Structure 1
């Protein structure tokens, strides 16, 4: 085999060795930066599941080591890019697999491909169905392999499918798993940054929690730096004396920004922190974490999920229990349009603003 390998062209040898070493493609960083710049300028309102597809459309054509798939939800997960071709009995060159309704089988197969080498496997299903893939997802983390889980329909924001499909505890379950990056991006820019990290990781699997509903672009100022890699960052700072810090993820980042507008209009200086990846923020040094979450101001977190996992950022890290609050879910969801549900469950800009004022 080694003799045969030496007979192929040098560029093919290097590409083979790169994929087996899980080294990033030289085009990846520039491609992600270009997409981020385009999005910051155009500021589209799109679901982050669609944002994910936009990333895959520009990355998959040159990162030919990716093998995608979905557990019978391709049209909903947006996991297939136009260049991939379907892997089946007639096309062994295809890079997209229709797994059927087999979440655990899909996750286990992806682990096997990554363990074999030369492949970066990703697969999609609904966030609520991480329950079915759970055993293999845990093994990705345990075996230290960078399998990527594209989990869409990540909250009550999916609407009428109701509580059987609406995840409330699943972010906490994934975050509780050691050696796992859980990304919940707020817009296309953060989604692109999350994918860049997932596609360069060598020993840590990634869970991308993505929305069904359209979300506004919140990163309107282009930054070449991958801010998601820091786990959390200041999206918009307080005007005047800083009295409150609102921390949010995913679809609730725009809610936090609207709450800030309410509070600032009343003279309450409010910082908004986007926290797309708690695990990466925990890896930052104390100095950076203190800069983002200084002691003093009241802290309110907003996320359309249960509070478990948030206490470190609310009452730890220089926070205080009597100056901390949470706006989110403490029950299962319901079947109704997304905007009705957010109102019903009290995950609104006004509710966040009221929570802040109750703590001052």
Structure 2
């Protein structure tokens, strides 16, 4: 097809530019330059190529759009308004204000349709788009049939120099090229401006050659300000390449039309009032009117909306026919579209008895994943080049690879992420955002730190992703302090809406997966041991699913001290309780594998687990950060570890039953001598919270 200009094209582009100027000026905050510079390509993409509709914004085969350079979100809000999504002119006028539908960067799950992922931190959106593209390719390979192509959508991404400077983008682009994701089209806003000014000061690489080296299809358009025909031809050519992702380098002028166009002054600050007036005059608008959308532009975009609605109607007919011919696949797909779990899936979770062998929790996780892979077809696993250590790949798993590699195919459910933890985290966010998958991935717990930017966005965006984070402590041994996480748990526990699990035995591992699978709006990190852990006498999936429970009760229920621990330290605390008993001291032992889940339990239950009346000692081979919420005294490690066998390290740092028993006795003696009333931190927090 060739480009056919419409009489409304120039007016629509001018409308986008003037709205961008008005929006940022009214809020006195934001970035008008990028929206004004990318207005032509935005108009062209959405009016000619993009297939979706605000009338059915969750249609599963809709094209996906990701604004990776999210500071220019005024552009996305404008396009959603013009396309009939649930953003009004009044919403645009409240840009960046409290409780606005139009926050300072795009946010999914914020009440606005058409925002697929949360962007802002640069490079994240581009990497999310790789996940969206993988999800589409997997869905197509899984469900498409001859004569019934249910999944045909493209993923489009806008990105800028800042995105390309972030290392996460390199990781994601490298993987996308390897996977030959021909359903992904990225448009690079090459405007040569970043916050510091001209990119000549810091970013002079040849981006086209870089992406060619990643095995991408690369195109260039040197006039992104006016040459609609060239832009159209580039996107049209991108559509024809099905075995490579496409990058279109689009040369634009930031802040096009303003007095200071092409300069950094338009990047992150409103234009001056007189400049906005001359912009409007230049583009044929009344300089004294604000937030104007001409009738002919409204009509033109109304026709675009109708095109999207007709595409959905046609797809629905194909889907209905698909249901008649392929009833099993249709039922499975419909279940996943509705976000429902298979009935009885939890019966796949293994249970354990105290007489069962001691097993590393990473090995226990492997067994759970093998069963869940059968029970949950939506599970899409993977690992960051540590499959043999993370034990994340189930026996008959097929790798997600382009068929030409003969290493797997697109229906495969195991992704080889390579050594790319940060991109892996962001890609998982995109996988989940597509709407059909629950992604899991593995790395060492310490290396989740590489990906915290993506993990934080998982929690903010309410993406259900599951990190299998093995080698969870100094218990990994000889690899030493570079690999032994000390502060990582504290950092992850501090992220709102992130569920950090550190299970102590097999039942707790099953419980961690149970809660993670059922938590449709919460990401999870499962910290798993390298060393063997005994199966605890007092554990069960039901108890552990509450996040914290009494694993060993004091005789008669009367404790002199409570030991609360996680992971490998629970069994050590049980042994410490036995040692205390020999000295006539009674101890209750509490396992607290998930603080997040425990906090969701009723106050009465939490207080029953950690009651007032006796001192509480926490035992964990991490930093003490955060334990003050559950204990009076902390037995922790507030320094880096060392390189040695695990047993030697536990002895060196005092994590033995004997040391914990001795410390417990000193704590009891101190509380008695000082006549200190041991008020549970649970009760204390509730008292202050009620004020």
For Structure 1 versus Structure 2, the TM-score category normalised by the shorter chain is over 0.9
Q: Deviations over 1:288-319 (max 9, x none)?
A: 011111101111110110000100111xxxxx
Contact conserved, 2:443 with 2:468, CA < 8 A, in 1?
Answer: yes
| 1:58 match | 371
**Within the alignment, does 1:309 sit opposite 2:623 as a pair?**
no
C-alpha distance in structure 1 between counterparts of 2:579 and 2:538, whole Å:
22
- Which of 93, 113, 118 is the matching residue for 2:411? 93
**Within the alignment, does 1:123 sit opposite 2:436 as a pair?**
no
Q: Deviations over 1:172-221 (max 9, x none)?
A: 01100000111100011100110011112110000000001111111x36
Query: Cα RMSD (Å) of the superposition?
Result: 1.3
State which structure, 1 or 2, has the greater radius of gyration over its C-alpha atoms.
2
Question: How far did residue 23 of structure 1 move?
Answer: 2.1
C-alpha distance in structure 1 between counterparts of 2:667 and 2:600, whole Å:
29
Question: Mapping of 1:262-301 within 5 angstroms?
Answer: 262-301=579-618
Q: Deviations over 1:113-152 (max 9, x none)?
A: 1000110001010011011111111110010111111110
Q: Deviations over 1:238-280 (max 9, x none)?
A: 0143111000100100001000000111111110000010111
C-alpha distance in structure 2 between counterparts of 1:120 and 1:17, whole Å:
15
| 2:573 match | 256
C-alpha distance in structure 1 between counterparts of 2:410 and 2:581, whole Å:
58
**Within the alignment, does 1:339 sit opposite 2:654 as a pair?**
no
**Within the alignment, does 1:6 sit opposite 2:320 as a pair?**
yes
Q: Which runs of 5+ in 1 are unaligned?
A: 315-323
| 1:317 match | none
| 2:391 match | 78
**Within the alignment, does 1:49 sit opposite 2:389 as a pair?**
no
**Within the alignment, does 1:186 sit opposite 2:517 as a pair?**
no
Across the two proteins, how many residue pairs are aligned to each other?
345
C-alpha distance in structure 2 between counterparts of 1:60 and 1:98, whole Å:
16
- TM-score normalised according to structure 2 size: 0.49
Question: How far did residue 42 of structure 1 move?
Answer: 4.9
C-alpha distance in structure 2 between counterparts of 1:209 and 1:17, whole Å:
33
Q: Deviations over 1:91-128 (max 9, x none)?
A: 11110011110001111111101000110001010011
- TM-score normalised according to structure 1 size: 0.93
Contact conserved, 1:40 with 1:221, CA < 8 A, in 2?
Answer: no
SS at match of 2:469: strand
Q: Which runs of 5+ in 2 are unaligned?
A: 1-314, 404-408, 669-691
Contact conserved, 1:23 with 1:200, CA < 8 A, in 2?
Answer: no
Question: How far did residue 17 of structure 1 move?
Answer: 2.5
C-alpha distance in structure 2 between counterparts of 1:41 and 1:277, whole Å:
21
**Within the alignment, does 1:237 sit opposite 2:553 as a pair?**
yes
| 1:200 match | 518
Question: How far did residue 329 of structure 1 move?
Answer: 0.6
- Which of 459, 483, 496 is the matching residue for 1:165? 483
Question: How far did residue 20 of structure 1 move?
Answer: 2.7
Contact conserved, 1:70 with 1:98, CA < 8 A, in 2?
Answer: yes
Contact conserved, 1:22 with 1:200, CA < 8 A, in 2?
Answer: no
| 1:326 match | 634
SS at match of 2:359: coil
SS at match of 2:561: strand
